[in-house]
Amino acid sequence: MRLLSFAVALLFWSAGAVAQGNPQYELRGFFQQDRAFSLWSGSPDFDIQGARSKGGGFGFALTPAEWFALWTEVSFFSGVRQGDYTLSFLVETQGLRYSTAWRGPFRVYGRGGVGFARFAFEGPGFAAAYYKMSLVYGGGAEVRLSDPVSFFVDASALTMGLPELTAVPGRDKWDTSILLGFGIAVKF
Q: What is the pLDDT, as a whole number, of residue 100?
A: 95
Q: What local confidence, expressed as pLDDT, does residue 36 receive? A: 80
Distance, in Å, from the CA atom of 66 to the CA atom of 100, rounded to the nearest integer, reads 8
First-to-last alpha carbon distance for the chain, in angstroms, is 39
What domains can you pick out in the chain, each with its CATH number? 26-162+178-187 (2.40.160.20)
Top pLDDT among 37 and 114 is at 114
pLDDT digits (tens, 9 = 90+) for 3-44: 545 554 555 555 554 555 678 999 999 999 988 888 777 777
pLDDT (tens digit, 9 = 90+) per residue, 75-102? 999 878 877 888 889 999 999 999 999 9
Give the residue among 70, 78, 71, 75 at the shortest CA–CA distance from 58. Answer: 75
For residue 185, which of 46, 73, 93, 98 has the smallest C-alpha distance?
Answer: 73
Residue 47's pLDDT band, with cuts at 50, 70 and 90, is confident
CA distance 81 to 20: 49
For residues 135-159, give the mean pLDDT: 95
- Answer yes or no: are the C-beta atoms of 53 and 64 closer than 8 Å: no
Q: Each residue of 155-181: pLDDT tens digit?
A: 999 999 988 877 778 777 888 989 999
| Residue-level pLDDT at 38 | 80
- Using DSSP, state whether 5 is helix, strand or coil: helix
